[in-house]
Amino acid sequence: MKPRDIPALLYVALAVIFIFLPVVVLVQFSFQDGLAPVPPFKGFSLRWYDKMFADRKLMEALGNSVLVGGLSSLIATALGFLAAFKLARRPGRGAPQMQFLLMAPITVSYIIIALGLLIVFNGLGFGKSLLAVGVGHVVINLPLCFAVIYSQMGEHQANVERAALDLGASEFKALIYVTVPMLWPALLAAFFIAFTLSWDEFVIAQLLSKFDVTLPVVIFSLLRTGLNPVTNAVGTFVFAVSIGLVVLVELLLARRPRDG
């Protein structure tokens, strides 16, 4: 190592510490063997996790999060796939404009989307609910799902689909037996990206839910009564699930496409 590299390394080290220190502290004090989730660290204990899993409100919220995340991601992935298939394989007129419209929601802040949906849902007569949150999550995740899947639809696969049609498959069968299996990694990646975002999304979940709430909303209400080792445990749990999914997505998308 040359002496002139030292400032650069120092900078990188500081940046990494800056980014990860809060998470490290959160995770560390979720294992705190004491009542105060602040230094000094008194020893290792899983009691807060026990408490978390025993808390009915938290567990209900966990179930709600999984339900909303799972269903909204499934719908966003399915819709994103269909849009990507249409735009990649049968572009036709107005395809660039359509693509722009599909991607546009990504530029709108969640609070604006939440407010808009709130107004629409009130107008339609069905108010704040988990369903409303789910719809909101489909809205924010559809552009991402579309982009991930669209980016993985190459010309080579188009030829493979052509081969299926040539061998007598209907368009629907070619889609089911060839296109979807070939795009499996992209579809799973889109699903898990959407799930991760839904899993820790707070603004829409807070504004559009009432009695049944998701985990981030519960964490927020817990925090209002002050720091508590249980919130650290919940936070760590949410974080671990997110990280796990992100790693899974990385593995799926980084997998070398098999040539052939």
Partner 1 sequence: MAESVVSLRGVSKSYEGATAVSQVDLDIAAGEFVVLLGPSGSGKTTVLSMIGGFTAPTTGQLFIDGADVTETPPAQRPTATVFQDYALFPHMSVRSNVGFGLAMRKVPRAERSRRADEVLRLVGLEGFGSRGIHQLSGGQRQRVALARAIAVEPKVLLLDEPLGALDLSLRRQMQDELVRIQKSVGTTFVHVTHDQEEAMSIADRIVVMNKGCIEDMGPPSRIYLRPATLFAATFMGESNILAGEAVEAAGECTWIKTALGTLPVPGRAAMGEAVKVLARPEHVHVDIGADVGAIAFGQGTVTEAMFQGTHLRLRLNAGPQGAVPITARAAADQSVTVGDSLPLSVRSQNLVLLRG
Q: Of 40 and 181, which has the nearer Cβ to partner 1?
A: 181
CA dihedral 226, 229, 234, 239 (to 10 degrees): 100
List residues binding partner 1 (CB under 8 A). Answer: 156, 159-160, 162-170, 173, 177-178, 181-182, 184, 258-260
Beta bridge partners of 32: 44
Cα gap 118→203, rounded to integer Å: 12
- The least distance separating partner 1 from the CB of residue 178, rounded to whole angstroms, comes to 6
CA dihedral 243, 246, 252, 253 (to 10 degrees): -150
Angle between helix axes 229-254 and 184-199 (nearest 10 degrees) is 160
Q: Of 35 and 167, which has the nearer Cβ to partner 1?
A: 167
- The least distance separating partner 1 from the CB of residue 90, rounded to whole angstroms, comes to 13
- The least distance separating partner 1 from the CB of residue 170, rounded to whole angstroms, comes to 7
Q: Of 140 and 149, which has the nearer Cβ to partner 1?
A: 149
Cα gap 132→71, rounded to integer Å: 12
**Residue 216 CA to its chain's centroid (Å):** 13
Q: Of 5 and 259, which has the nearer Cβ to partner 1?
A: 259
Q: Of 126 and 184, which has the nearer Cβ to partner 1?
A: 184
Beta bridge partners of 44: 32
Structural tokens at position 209 = 């839910």
How many separate helices (H) and strands (E) can be counted in the chain? 13, 0
Q: Of 58 and 153, which has the nearer Cβ to partner 1?
A: 153
Cα gap 142→79, rounded to integer Å: 7
> How crowded is residue 75: how many other Cβ atoms within 10 Å of its Cβ?
18
Q: Of 101 and 163, which has the nearer Cβ to partner 1?
A: 163
- The least distance separating partner 1 from the CB of residue 187, rounded to whole angstroms, comes to 13
- The least distance separating partner 1 from the CB of residue 259, rounded to whole angstroms, comes to 8
Structural tokens at position 246 = 């992100």
- The least distance separating partner 1 from the CB of residue 154, rounded to whole angstroms, comes to 11
At 130, is the secondary structure helix, strand, or coil? helix
- The least distance separating partner 1 from the CB of residue 43, rounded to whole angstroms, comes to 51
**Residue 111 CA to its chain's centroid (Å):** 17
